[in-house]
Chains A and B, each alone.
Chain A
Amino acid sequence: MKRIVLAGTMLPLLFAGALSAADTINAAGATFPAPIYQKWFEEYKAKTGIQVNYQAVGSGAGIKQLTEGTVQFGASDVPMTDAQISAMKVKALHFPTVLGGVAVAYNVSGVATDLKLSGPTIAAVYMGTVTKWNDAKIAADNPGVKLPATDIVVVHRADGSGTSFIFTDYLSKVSPDWKTKVGAAASVSWPAGLGGQGNAGVAGLVKQTPGAIGYVELGYAIENKMTYADVKNSAGKFVKPTFESVTAAAAGMKEMPDDFRVSITDAPGAASYPISSFTWMLIPSQISDAGKKKAITDFLTWMLGDGQKDCQALGYSPLPAAVVAKEKKQIALVK
């Protein structure tokens, strides 16, 4: 019978599987850094044979899975809140991995040059008060540019997202209206728009929907050849998200706090891209399995060294040297 044959082929695989279970680590979290994490894990597997299964399910899900203990480590672009940390049986340590920028991508035909958008304008769009591409606010940011009368289709994240946190954190800083009405979090009550799953889902919706605007991590915008806006920074300059401008945003940071939880949106500096952020791996401070602990700490050391070289090609910026030095000390705190 079919099932006997099936069982027969299954059994050897099951046994083969059981033998190498020790070498697999399960992780879940943000979609923001997923492309570079997956590249890292491929390289690391080729180097050491250790397999890390990383599921890009969103920062919110990553934090939850780590708290529930269903994954060995998590990843998030939004630092865990005090409440979330106190809910954990084993406290998690934040390890910044890369710097990334959130691009404001759009899909509007009939616009000749790259659009310039200021913070309050973006907030108004996402609050639903600006509904057409030729609205006065957008025209004010783009003097002399011919804008079509198309409806704006707002796209945001449907899932709990660190990228959403970075974006709403920025909007809260530049728009008091946004701060009181919506606020900054991984999952907010969006006043308007469609929801996509993951950075990939938002990119997909923006690409397919004429008139759409959405926020995605820079790497996704580049990979999908999307057009994205120049955003006005705190120095008043309209800056495009690039390797240089994201790196400049971190350079403006005063001092990295000891727990590594920091926000660098709307950073000072004429060349800074205002919607930039660190992204973190959330590592439990105690890992009972010695083999897995060594695998994870070795990975962290590698990531802070060779791993940083992969950043630029994928649209991320490497960590500043001071942060790397401080982090290397934190690795010792993983017991």
Chain B
Amino acid sequence: MATIAAVQPQPKKSGISNLIRRVRNGDEVAWAITLLFATSVLVITAMLIGELWIGSAASREKFGFGFLTSRLWNPVTDEFGAYPFLYGTVVTSGVALLISVPIGVGAAIFLAELASGKWSDGLTFLVELLASVPSVIYGLLAIFTVVPMMREYIGPGLKAVFGFLPLFQGPVYGVGYLTASIVLAIMIFPYIISVSREALLAVPREQREAALALGATKWESTWQIVVPFARLGIIGSIFLAFARALGETMAVTMVIGNDMSAHTSLLAPGNTIAAVLASEFNEATGKYYPSALIELGLVLFLLTLILNGLARLLILVTTNKGSARV
């Protein structure tokens, strides 16, 4: 007959042999190893921030905050200003959002509310495939499709209809801010759709049912009840997409025209921080040139850091909120 052996409290052993026993068990070792790896992530990230800070020191000292507002980028006279690139980065990403948010949120609504389970999952999978296409392939495609289309149809078309706005004046090159924005918009669709769809799905069923029970149409229920409920998550997805667009390098540098000034017209060529880093980093010599480029990298890093942080916060609040409500 099995007796349950009473678990005797272990007699207090001396520290060393206790340690040896635990080590022999393997638990301490496993804990130490995994802790080591986890710490290495901290160390690497800290090093990254540190190197960016140190590398940009010469430039930060020389230009101070004026770096962000100066429009002159002249490697010959060692005058560096980030404004044209900041402008280009924000404008291309911003216009990309303007294009992709309505379509993306619309698609997310469709996938969350209207499509049946299998269709919804399947189509979402396809949309997420867009996110796995490498950036350089988007660039390759854009050079041979979007650029000629812009030059021959979209650009002249916009000029004809909206030419009175300074936004659509000047010659149409094919490459430029708008072309880059279109490419970016396509690249960020999956982020908006996927996260917004999750946020919408997290809204409790009772909310929809209550609205429908009160006589609302499906659209009214969706637009006036469900979407506001999920709005923090949707906004979070927008921040996420924005952060992603800001950091995009290859596709942008292939279609933005690499012009070193800021232009008002969307049809004009320009540059973004990521694109200028890709073009010039390999050749920067001297004391200030490489430092200015690293400072650009630091600025970009901080921008994406803030946006990503906000995004995660918003998404976290929404998904918790959704499941907390009864």
Residues on A with C-beta less than 8 A from B174 are 208-209
Could you give, for residues 160-203 of chain B, a 1 whenever the CB lies within 8 Å of some chain A CB and a 0 otherwise? 00000000000101110000000000000000000000000000
Q: Chain A residues with Cβ under 8 A from B284's Cβ?
A: 60, 64, 160
**B76 interface residue, CB < 8 Å from A?**
yes
The residues in A between 27 and 74 inclusive whose CB is less than 8 angstroms from any CB of B are: 57-58, 60-65, 67
Question: In this assembly, does A315 line the interface, its C-beta being within 8 Å of a C-beta of chain B?
Answer: no
Q: If the complex has contacts A63-B285, A84-B285, A208-B174, are A187 and B279 also in contact, measured as CB distance less than 8 A? A: no
Query: Does B75 lie within 8 Å of A183, measured CB to CB?
Result: no
Residue B45 interfacial (CB < 8 Å): no
Given contacts A158-B258, A189-B72, contact A58 B175 (CB under 8 A): no
Interface SS of chain B: helix, strand, loop or mixed?
A: loop
Q: Which 9 A-B pairs have the closest CB atoms?
A: A195-B258, A60-B283, A61-B283, A158-B258, A160-B283, A151-B171, A61-B282, A194-B257, A189-B74
Residues of B within 8 A of A (CB): 72-76, 147-148, 151, 171, 173-175, 257-260, 269, 271, 279-280, 282-286
CB of A270, distance to nearest CB on chain B (Å): 34
Per-residue contact bits, chain A 187-229, to B (CB 8 Å; 1 contact, 0 not): 1111011111100000001001111000000000000000000
CB-contact partner of B285 in A87, A188, A194, A209, under 8 A: A87
A281 within 8 A of B: no
Q: Tell me, in angstroms, the Cα distance from A57 to B148 when the chains sit together.
A: 27
- Measured in the bound complex, the distance between the Cα atoms of B147 and A192 in whole Å is 20
Q: Mark A156-187, 1 if CB is under 8 A from B, else 0.
A: 00111000000000000000000000010101
* CB atoms of B283 and A183 under 8 A apart: no
Please, which residues of chain B bring their CB within 8 A of the CB of A211? 171
- Contact between chains at B74 and A188 (CB < 8 Å): yes
A56 CB, min distance to chain B CBs, angstroms: 12
A190: chain B residues at CB < 8 Å are 259-260
Contact B259 A193 (CB under 8 A): yes
Q: A60-B285, A159-B280, A187-B283 are in contact. List 17 more A-B contacts (CB 8 A).
A: A60-B284, A61-B283, A63-B285, A64-B282, A67-B285, A87-B286, A185-B75, A187-B75, A189-B72, A189-B73, A190-B260, A193-B259, A194-B175, A194-B269, A195-B258, A195-B259, A195-B279
Contacts of B259 in A (CB 8 A): 190, 192-195
A selection of 15 A-B contacts at a CB cut-off of 8 Å is A57-B283, A63-B285, A67-B285, A159-B283, A160-B75, A185-B75, A185-B76, A189-B72, A189-B76, A193-B259, A194-B259, A194-B269, A195-B258, A195-B279, A208-B174
Interface centre among A57, A197, A209, A211 (most CB of B within 10 A): A209
Q: A153–B171 contact, CB under 8 A?
A: yes
Residues of A close to B258: CB separation below 8 A: 158, 194-197
Which residue of the partner chain B has the closest CB to A189? B74
- Taking CB as reference atom, which chain B residue is nearest A158? B258
Q: A57-B282, A57-B283, A160-B75 are in contact. Are A209 and B260 (CB under 8 A)?
A: no
What is the bound-complex CA distance between A209 and B176, given in angstroms? Answer: 13
Contacts of B148 in A (CB 8 A): 208
Q: Which of A63, A183, A208 contacts B76 (CB 8 A)?
A: A183
CB pair B285–A187 under 8 Å, yes or no, is no
